[in-house]
């Protein structure tokens, strides 16, 4: 199944959590995606640091189809991004700002969330056509306070903070104006994954979704 761009963005906005799968093996990565889907989250970002990442994406796309919105993370160049999209990825995430990756994603009508940190990088990414901007690393530069500071002059840009995101900081980031959070090891517990305790990841997924929901309800109250 191919996700229309606006439907993909709508799901990310609705759920508010992007689980980042970094794993020591292709099999671990596939099982992590399986556990995330079991938790009802429906979104999984496979990073290019996973061994055989492209083949993992192909397996996840074939196995789960419309059950999961599959993303490709740690995209460092347009060629890798294109390979990921052809393997079944429906959105691209980069750790840094490369306008060529954004342009390539736009050609395929797929969302792209480039990594940026400074206001100049954020605006450059947005002007290049980024759908949302990944603020990385968010935690070390102030977390929710930094998101709130960026949102002041840039309310039209949607942010996805990454780095320093956990169950404690997630509600703060959502209340500060983040459209979604991206979570790595705090959700996809590598130790639990290696030990075959997939229920830990499934439970984590549910807890993050609930944390976002409650934060939004509190903000709306």
Assigned architecture for domain 5-220: Alpha-Beta Barrel (3.20)
Say if residue 14's pLDDT is above 80: yes
Give the chain's mean pLDDT. 96
Whether the predicted pLDDT of 83 surpasses 90: yes
What is the pairing mode between strands 133-135 and 115-116? parallel
Percent share of the chain, pLDDT over 70: 100
Residue ranges per domain, the chain? 5-220
Confidence of residue 136 (pLDDT cuts 50, 70, 90): very high
- Retrieve residue 213's tokens: 């929901």
User: pLDDT for 90-103, tens place per residue?
Assistant: 999 999 999 999 99
Identify the band that residue 221 occupies on the pLDDT scale cut at 50, 70 and 90.
confident
Query: Alpha carbon 59 to chain centroid distance?
Result: 19
How sure is the predictor about 220, in pLDDT bands with cuts at 50, 70 and 90?
confident
Q: How far apart are CA 144 and CA 142, in angstroms?
A: 6
CA distance linking residue 34 with residue 203, whole number of Å:
13
Q: What is the pLDDT of residues 146-188, one digit of tens each?
A: 999 999 999 999 999 999 999 999 999 999 999 999 999 999 9
With H, G, I as helix, E, B as strand and everything else as coil, classify residue 184.
Answer: coil
Residue 96, Cβ density class (10 Å: 0-12 exposed, 13-18 middle, ≥19 buried): middle
Which string of DSSP letters, residue by residue, matches 24-42? SSHHHHHHHHHHHHHTT--
pLDDT at 66: 86
Rounded distance between C-alpha atoms, residue 151 and residue 97, angstroms: 19
Positive/negative CA dihedral, 186, 198, 20, 109: negative
**Are 65 and 86 a contacting pair, CB within 8 Å?**
no
% pLDDT > 90, the chain: 95
Tell me: pLDDT of 1 over 80: no
Is residue 34 scored above 80 in pLDDT? Answer: yes
pTM: 0.96
pLDDT band for position 121 (cuts 50, 70, 90)? very high
- Asked if residues 30 and 64 have their Cβ atoms less than 8 Å apart, the reply is no
């Amino acid at each position: 199944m191919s996700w229309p761009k606006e439907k993909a963005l709508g799901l990310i906005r609705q759920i508010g959590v992007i689980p980042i799968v970094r794993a020591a093996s292709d099999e671990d990565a596939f099982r992590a995606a399986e556990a995330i889907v079991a938790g009802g989250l429906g979104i999984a970002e496979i990073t290019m640091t996973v061994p055989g990442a492209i083949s993992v994406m192909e397996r996840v796309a074939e196995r789960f189809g419309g059950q999961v919105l599959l993303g490709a993370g740690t995209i460092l160049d347009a060629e890798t991004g294109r390979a990921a999209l052809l393997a079944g990825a429906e959105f691209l995430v980069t750790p840094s700002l490369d306008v060529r990756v954004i342009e390539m994603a736009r050609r395929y009508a797929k969302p792209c969330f480039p990594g940026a940190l400074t206001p100049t990088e954020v605006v450059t990414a947005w002007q290049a056509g980024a759908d949302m901007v990944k603020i990385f690393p968010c935690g070390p530069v102030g977390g929710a306070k930094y998101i709130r500071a960026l949102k002041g002059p840039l309310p039209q840009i949607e942010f996805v903070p990454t780095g320093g995101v956990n169950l404690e900081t997630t509600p703060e980031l959502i209340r500060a104006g983040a459209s979604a959070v991206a979570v790595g090891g705090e959700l996809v517990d590598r130790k639990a994954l290696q030990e075959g305790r997939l229920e830990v990841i499934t439970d984590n997924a549910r807890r993050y979704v609930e944390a976002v929901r409650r934060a939004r309800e509190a903000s709306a109250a």
